[in-house]
Amino acid sequence: MQRRHQVGKPCRKDLAAALSNRGRAYYNKNDFDHAMADFDQAIATDPGTALLFYRRSALDYFRKDYDRAIDDSTRALALDPDYVMAYNGAAPPMPPRAITTAPSPISILRCGSIPKPPMS
């Protein structure tokens, strides 16, 4: 028998999804403090959803909190090893000059295409 939640009372996953979506809206408006608060609350509400950790890892990365970005991406992958987007945040960040001077597998994944070799 499937259990339903009461009308007017969202279930835990619905609440976490709503918080995560509002966090994305704040992120898109460059309101990073409110976005982080919503992502943190979403994770506290439903710590078993990989997407929540991935979204927070993207904000961590943007804020240059690389250790936390890696931790959050690693948690996302532990929850769902097939969640491909989380692999992007699990890789250690590279300085921008490394991407332009010495393409690596990480930089190729981050930019989404294979760079052309330099002309001699």
Residue with the larger pLDDT of the pair 82 and 28: 28
Domain segments of the chain: what residues? 12-90
Residue type, 107: S
**Residue whose C-alpha is closest to residue 55's, from 46, 106, 11:** 46
DSSP label at residue 116 = P
Looking at the whole model, is its pTM more than 0.85?
no
CATH of domain 12-90: 1.25.40.10
What's the pLDDT tens digit per position in 48-91?
A: 999 999 899 989 988 888 889 888 988 888 888 886 666 665 55
Q: Show the CA angle centred on residue 56, arms to residues 106 and 59, nearest 5°.
A: 70
* CA torsion angle 61 67 68 71 (round to 10): 110
